[in-house]
Amino acid sequence: MRGKTVLLIIGGGIAAYKSLELIRRLKERGAAVRVILTHAATQFVTPLSASSLAGEKVYQDLFSLTDESEMGHIQLSRSADLVVVAPATADLMAKLAGGHANDLASTTLLATDKRVLMAPAMNVRMWNHPANQRNLRTLKAEGVLFVGPNEGDMACGEFGPGRMAEPDEITDAVASYFNTDEHALDGLKALVTAGPTQEPLDPVRFIANRSSGKQGYAIAGALARAGASTVLVSGPVEIEPPSGVRLLKVTTAREMLAACEASLPADVAVCTAAVADWRPEIAANNKIKKEKDAAAPTLRLVENPDILATLARHPQRPHLLIGFAAETESVVEHAAAKRLRKGCDWIVANDVSPHTGIMGGDRNTVHLITAKGTESWPELAKAEVGERLAARIAQSLKGQAA
Ligand code: CTP
């Protein structure tokens, strides 16, 4: 982040106190931080604390004569490399989605020619409100980047999505943005599978697994940020799809395969989904009832299609086909054998033993196995694994060393 400037707009929410910590984190990583406080934000943090931490004056007023003579609001909006809104309140999201410009923050958001990264924070009902969700979709479609919100206890005593992402997560998202070449994959098409699949036994029961989908979503986000037109075929997970990605939601392995085949051709496909290897032979139309004195039913399973292997043999095989290997022992050896068995070009191996915390967690330690050998990457945030992989994909597809 050295040499980069972040324009941080602090909105009026209880999470604003965390934005002071965010200023520190960004500065520790080398960024210069220029701050705008909305009027409401000053109810939660003072201009003096923001300015002391940023080491610069903070901006608050659209019609300040001194500010306009020193740095006009248009110049302020252009002076940064990235605009970060944290906390992004429902009001700030609505203003940008609706094109309003009646104070310094909203005017700056409308006037900027730089990317905007929002870290929303609001009550769970406000977050889920159709009007807010509509604004979210509009902003995403227009290229606004998002980090969070996270799920958890809220200051108002309710529980659910709406907590602002932590300062470290927002800093990581800023770093991701600066690390990404936004045109590296321009003109290319990417397909990503993510999450578990659910295989029904009857209308209320299913077989599934613990995959959270986080790694696949992070990869799809990184590919889209690098300019690829990206389709994300996802099993049932409850995470926000990244900006700029076309999301196809499916439930079963067979639906996932059909959605993948319908999305071909693709230049690159990354199969991160933890597809259920088997499904119940029969999915009952009605709930299976417990009959008095009857023995427990026997579950007969049949094999599901292997999506990665099917794509490898497909007449429209993606030019670069990447699989994931979830292993719990002899990770690299098993994954290398899997690469050959499935016919993919690269395989990303990770150890999913419970003690690693990888399944469901935010970090990952992976090995990238190609025909040329194995690279072991250090432990990274899943977002960073996504970026590195997107950069490697760009190198490979643009004809440089893989
Ligand atoms: N995969 C797939 N379709 C399946 C099973 C797996 O596309 N029906 C893909 C996964 O998305 C991943 C790769 O194959 O990219 C390896 O998945 P993994 O679960 O590690 O391997 P399995 O095929 O289940 O093999 P094993 O049981 O030997 O671990």
Q: Which of 156, 260, 271, 344 is catalytic?
A: 156
- Please report which confidence band the pLDDT of residue 190 belongs to, taking 50, 70 and 90 as the band edges: very high
- Taking the C-alpha atoms of residue 73 and residue 65, their distance in angstroms, rounded to an integer, is 11
Q: What is the CA radius of gyration of the chain?
A: 23
Q: Is 16 in the pocket of ligand 1 (CB under 6 A)?
A: no
Query: What is the distance in A from the centroid of ligand 1 to the CA of 229?
Result: 25
DSSP assignment letter at 196: B
Grade residue 141 by pLDDT with cuts at 50, 70 and 90: confident
Highest mean pLDDT among 100-104, 231-235, 385-389: 231-235
Q: How far is CA 42 from CA 46, 346, 362, in A?
A: 5, 51, 33
Instruction: Answer with the residue of higher pLDDT: 156 or 267.
Output: 267
**pLDDT tens string 146-174:** 999 998 887 778 888 899 999 999 998 99
Relative to the CA of 325, which ligand 1 atom is closest? 20
Residue 271 known to be catalytic: no
Q: What pLDDT sits at residue 229?
A: 97
Q: 274 CA to middle of ligand 1, Å?
A: 7
Q: Sign of the CA dihedral 54, 55, 56, 61?
A: positive
Nearest partner of 383 among 172, 166, 168, judged by Cα? 172
> Treating both helix axes as pointing N-terminal to C-terminal, what angle do 16-28 and 47-54 enclose, rounded to 10 degrees?
10
Q: Is 326 in the pocket of ligand 1 (CB under 6 A)?
A: yes
In three-state secondary structure terms, 43 is: helix
Task: Tell me: cis bond preceding 265? Omega within 30 of 0 counts.
Answer: yes
Ligand 1 pocket residue status of 335, Cβ below 6 Å: no
Mean pLDDT of 62-75: 73
DSSP secondary structure, 265-302, as one string: --SEEEE--B--SEEES---SSPPP--TTPPPPPPPEE
State the Cα torsion 213-219-221-225 to the nearest 10°: 180
* Whether the predicted pLDDT of 304 surpasses 70: yes
Query: Which domains does the chain possess?
Result: 5-179 (3.40.50.1950), 189-397 (3.40.50.10300)
369 pocket-lining for ligand 1 (C-beta < 6 Å): no
Section 30-36 average pLDDT: 96
Mean pLDDT of 96-119: 94
Q: Over the stretch 353-378, which tens digit does the pLDDT of each residue have?
A: 888 887 778 888 999 999 999 999 98
Distance 123 CA to ligand 1 centre (A): 39
Residue 292: predicted pLDDT = 86
Averaged pLDDT for residues 16-33: 96
Structural element, H or E, at residue 102: none
In the predicted model, is pLDDT for residue 225 greater than 80?
Answer: yes
Query: Average pLDDT, whole number, for the chain?
Result: 92
Amino acid 401: pLDDT: 38
φ, ψ for residue 332, nearest 5 deg? -70, -45
Of 332, 378, 385, the residue nearest 362 (C-alpha): 385
b/e sequence 188-222, b meaning 16+ C-beta within 10 Å = bbbbbbbbbbbbbbeeeebbbbebbbbbbbbbbbb
The stretch 317-342 carries a mean pLDDT of 95
Of the pLDDT bands very low, low, confident and very high (cuts 50, 70, 90), residue 76 is: confident
> Residue 202: which residues within 8 A CB-CB, separation 6 or more?
283, 284, 285, 286, 287, 288
Containing H/E element for 142? none
Q: For a substitution probing ligand 1, which of 211, 277, 340 has the most ligand atoms within 8 Å of its CB? A: 277
Give the whole-number percent of the chain exceeding pLDDT 70.
97
Contact between 387 and 176 (Cβ < 8 Å): yes
Residue where the block lists tokens 């509509």: 134
Residue pair 62/104 in contact (Cβ under 8 Å)? The answer is yes
Cα(158) to ligand 1 centroid in Å equals 39
**Residue labelled with tokens 């990457």:** 377
Task: Please give the Cα distance from 340 to 335 (Å, whole number).
Answer: 9
Structure token pair of residue 234: 């996802």
- Please say if the pLDDT value at position 66 is more than 70: no
Would you call 112 helix, strand, or coil by DSSP? coil
> What ligand 1 atom has the least distance to the C-alpha of 277?
8
Nearest to 373 by CA among 336, 319, 330, 331: 336
Give mean pLDDT, residues 126-143. 93
- Structure confidence at residue 252 (pLDDT): 98
Provide the 8-state DSSP code for 42.
G
Q: How confident is the model at residue 305 (pLDDT cuts 50, 70, 90)?
A: very high
Confidence band of 65 (pLDDT split at 50, 70, 90): low
Tens digit of pLDDT for each residue in 275-292? 999 999 999 999 998 888
**The pTM of the whole model exceeds 0.85:** no
